[in-house]
Amino acid sequence: MHAERFLFSPIYWVMWLALAAVYIIGLFVPLFDTDPAHHALIALHMVETNDWVSLIDRGRDYLDKPHLLFWLSALSFKTFGINTFAYKLPSMLASIVGFYSAFRLGKLLYSEAVGRLAALIYASCYAQFLSNQDVRMDALLTACMVFSVWMLLAFVREGKRKYALGSALGLALGFATKGGIGLAMPLMALGFQLLYERNWKAIFQWSWVFIGFSFLVFISPILYCYYLQFDLHPEKVIRGMTGLSGIKFILLGQSVERFQGEAWGSSGSNDYFFFFHTLLWSCLPWAFLIYWSLFRAIRNFKAQKEVLTLGIIVSMMLILSMAQYKLPHYLNLLYPYLAIQLSGQLLSSSEKTIRSLMIVQAVVVTLMMGITIYLNTVITPIPGLLNQLVALAVAGFLLYLSIRQSPVFVRLVAVSLAGISITFMSLSANAYPYLFRYDSGYEFARTADPAVRDSFSFYRIYSYTFDFYTQKLHPPLPEGKIPETRWILTDSTGLAELRQAGVKMAQIRSNPHFHLSTLNGEFLNPATRLQACERRYLIERY
């Protein structure tokens, strides 16, 4: 009863405001010098060349992922300029659609209360925050897929044509984001539920032909672009091969390659528990409760009201664990279903169980707060004692509000939301901006003479962030060629080679450099941080 009242009270919306503040701050954290900046540059190429068909990565044809994120980013650049905010905004807007879709799906499967709580849990998972800051395909793809599942289930339940069209559109948007997984996973989720219900009438109906035809119509722009870029040009050399069909690749090859590890190496391939222990940090502060809810659901399987969430969670965990290529953000696809499953279990639990879970959450949040304090006072200290005291006071006040006298269910949710909000806000407002001084490309682009963008070359190295934050794509030099431009960005080996080649240098600026997406203990320790970095140099020649 307390839980129901809380989920329909103003306090519920106050929690959403706290989450919104964290997401908004993340919109302005610089892009990492990995996939986010890489994807932004593909969109920048569209803007520079006005070519919205071809996917080009530093002068080379890019085959791996379809167009949707790049199109949305390029449109955002056209609207808001070429900056961090513009690149991240489409994914955050998509996430909002995803949160609403999770609410509607939870409402269909259980009740409106379950849907409201599920949306809150989904939005407050650590890696969901991260996917809107370290923007790749995942926030957009997850939102498209949970929207698809909601539309599909609503169509089965109500049979309305608008849900059929919505299903086809959602599936097409998921496909346009990352290929076949955007189609396969929502259909699997619905299939589990229909088989569980033995709803043969829904499975064998002619409306699926309409959805399938609409899906093909919606994805036709993607297929046509692949046809123009690849199928019409069999002479192109892609990954050392000619005669490659772009349409065949995006329909079949892309997802199979990821599963088999072809062309991608074998990241995490031998660790079959990779995603099980990754969930422990990626789903903070809810990770232990999620494991509890899954064990409880499996133990009471015959009493389950639905198997859509449990079926897709278990099946995808097994499939992903067998894949030869594993990355932590692959788990993002499961967060809406994990959230719905946990919400259903929490709202059907006794107060005694909730009190026990509250103890677990109190321990988790206490550990998170300890790490957050250490991070912001030792690893990346907030500048100034007064600022540190203010930050601690604000964090303490938020935690006090979350644990003051109130029903235990409200405290469980509130302390979890306060803990993750404080943790990620400190990362977005302090830790990451502090560490970006060690991304040399970003630092040089931010502080160099604006004229550097017009006569510039990379030598021996490359920085996505430099190109993005100078708002200009600089073509790669032929291997071994000495740059003739006024400005050159290079590493220590390149500097020695340029000196040996007799390049006359008017100015040399140096900056420590570390790949911030792969933090380690040596770098995080202030005493050894510089030892973990390489040096990069921005050279002005005579």
For residue 510, the surrounding DSSP H or E stretch is: strand 505-513
State the angle between helix axes of 287-299 and 351-374 in degrees (0 to 180), rounded to the nearest 10. Answer: 150
Cβ-Cβ contacts under 8 Å for 18 (sequence gap 6 or more): 398, 417, 418, 421
CA 429/CA 497 separation, integer angstroms: 40
Query: 260 pLDDT exceeds 60?
Result: no
pLDDT at 1 over 60: no
CA distance 224 to 27: 33
For residues 74 and 41, what is the distance between their CA atoms, to the nearest angstrom?
A: 9
Confidence bin at 517 (pLDDT 50/70/90): confident
Q: Is the pTM of this model over 0.85?
A: yes
Asked if residue 402 has pLDDT above 70, the reply is no
Band of residue 265 on the pLDDT scale cut at 50, 70, 90 = very low
pLDDT above 60: residue 36: yes
**DSSP-derived secondary structure letter, 332:** G
pLDDT averaged over every residue in the chain: 90
- CA-nearest of 432, 435, 436 to 129 is 432
The tens digit of pLDDT for each residue in 281-294 reads: 999 999 999 999 99
Of 15-19, 69-73, 442-446, the range with the lowest mean pLDDT is: 15-19
Query: Which of 186-190, 323-327, 348-352, 403-407 bottoms out in mean pLDDT, i.e. has the lowest?
Result: 403-407
Residue 259 has pLDDT above 80, yes or no: no
Alpha-carbon gap, residue 498 to 504, rounded angstroms:
9
**Environment class of 442 (CB within 10 Å of its CB; exposed 0-12, middle 13-18, buried 19+):** buried
Average confidence (pLDDT) over 195-214: 91
Q: Left, alpha or beta for 349 (phi > 0: left; psi -120 to 50: alpha)?
A: beta
Spell out the domain ranges in the chain.
Answer: 31-347, 351-437, 439-541
Mind listing the pLDDT tens digit for each residue in 466-508? 999 999 999 888 887 899 899 999 999 999 999 999 999 989 9
* DSSP codes joined into one string, 28-91: TSPPPTTHHHHHHHHHHHHHHHT-SS--EETTEE--SS-SHHHHHHHHHHHHH-SSHHHHHHHH
> Is the model's pLDDT at 267 over the cut of 60?
no
Q: What is the DSSP string of 168-206?
A: HHHHHHHHHHHTTHHHHHHHHHHHHHHHHHT-HHHHS-T
How far, CA to CA in Å, does 535 sit from each of 1, 379, 465, 519?
Answer: 60, 21, 16, 17
Residue 313 has pLDDT above 90, yes or no: yes
State the average pLDDT over residues 120-134: 94
The answer to whether residue 269 scores a pLDDT higher than 70 is: no
